[in-house]
Amino acid sequence: FDQREGTIWLNGALLPWGDAKVHVLTHGLHYGSSVFEGERFYAGRVFKLKAHGERLINSCRIMGMDCPYSADELDEAAQEVIRASGLSDGYLRRVIWRGSGMMGVAAQDSGLNVAMASWEWPSYFTPDALEAGLRLTISDWRRPPPDCAPTQAKAAGLYMICTLSKHAAEQAGYDDALMFDHRGLVAEATGANVFFVKDGALHTPDPDCFLNGITRQTVMELAQRRQIRVIERAIRPDELEGFEQCFLTGSAAEVCPVSQIGPYRFDVGDITKQMVRDYHDEVRRLPGDRSAVA
Ligand code: PMP
């Protein structure tokens, strides 16, 4: 992945893709002091650019990292990267991490680095899996409580258990894993939030120890525009059996139907399909056009 055509923005300059390098004694590499954003652009425009830029700055603040750029400057740089890529639709990754200025747990003078890259990423899951609905297993790893990790930051360190869970799921032949939280309640997938459908309403866990995803918030708004009730609440694992439909939401994943979680089966039903379509329309809707819901 590190030798491609194209450019990567690193600390204010656009570099040839293969030249955007870090030193091996980088604090972010040794101690996980890194925050990032995963975003998609459609027809050259990043969906919810401002919300992502603000979350990036907020992740820095939570991690005690003093970002040298304002949210607006980060957003302008993102647009520059996308223009330079020549892509119309694609994925944007922005990442901020502590550098190599000092080595040890303390990192006040390690320096901060900012990088942005974009590439084509047509679908997070395979088209076949999307059509039939994703098959999820249940992870052995649990999301930590907010007093054991900075759970509201999109911080690299929090993804250790996500990669472990995702690898275990794929190894066992599944597409992804559902994770429970520290209390044993339903939390989210390894890189996306989860929704369930029952009796015409959406149910989704309270995001009190994982990201309140930007896609999650968008889908809640889209559902409400269609007069579909959205209930945010604690969801116990024993309730999985009673839900009719299930889907995941995330900037990379978009809205993905789920057909199975462990022993439980779900239909790729009408509300799920409606949310897939509404999200697809919403990300491509031009600013000011409020006519999307028909
Ligand atoms: N949870 C996790 C663990 C994620 O990685 C993501 C993707 N960023 C989400 C939820 C969804 O967040 P968003 O909709 O803001 O992309």
Say which CATH number the domain at 212 has.
Answer: 3.20.10.10
Per residue in 14-42, pLDDT (tens digit) is 999 999 999 999 999 999 999 999 999 99
Based on the domain organization, do 105 and 214 belong to the same domain?
Answer: no
pLDDT at 127: 83
Based on the domain organization, do 138 and 248 belong to the same domain?
Answer: yes
Based on the domain organization, do 132 and 246 belong to the same domain?
Answer: yes
**Number of C-alpha atoms within 13 angstroms, CB side, residue 63?**
29
Is position 243 within any domain?
yes
Based on the domain organization, do 131 and 195 belong to the same domain?
Answer: yes
| Ligand 1 atom closest to the CA of 190, numbered from 1 | 3
Predicted model pTM:
0.96
Based on the domain organization, do 132 and 188 belong to the same domain?
Answer: yes
Structural domain range at position 146: 127-284
Based on the domain organization, do 134 and 274 belong to the same domain?
Answer: yes
Q: Is 251 in the pocket of ligand 1 (CB under 6 A)?
A: yes
What distance lies between CA 88 and its chain's CA centroid?
20
Based on the domain organization, do 169 and 189 belong to the same domain?
Answer: yes
Per-position b or e across 93-123, b if 16+ CB within 10 A of its CB = bbbbbbbbeeeeeebeebbbbbbbbbeeeee
Based on the domain organization, do 179 and 258 belong to the same domain?
Answer: yes
Is position 2 within any domain?
no
Phi–psi pair at 135, nearest 5 degrees: -110, 120
Q: What are the residue ranges in the chain where pLDDT is below 50? A: 294
> Best substitution site from 154, 162, 163, 212 to test ligand 1's pocket, by max atoms within 8 Å of Cβ?
154
pLDDT at 291: 58
Based on the domain organization, do 216 and 189 belong to the same domain?
Answer: yes
Based on the domain organization, do 87 and 169 belong to the same domain?
Answer: no
- Integer CA distances (angstroms), 235 to 86, 181, 232, 243, 250, in order: 43, 10, 9, 11, 19
From the list 92, 144, 148, 162, the residue with the least C-alpha distance to 121 is: 92
Choose one of 86, 101, 119: the last residue of a domain. Answer: 119
Based on the domain organization, do 31 and 91 belong to the same domain?
Answer: yes
Ligand 1 centroid to Cα of residue 74, in Å, is 19
pLDDT at 294: 46
Is position 146 within any domain?
yes
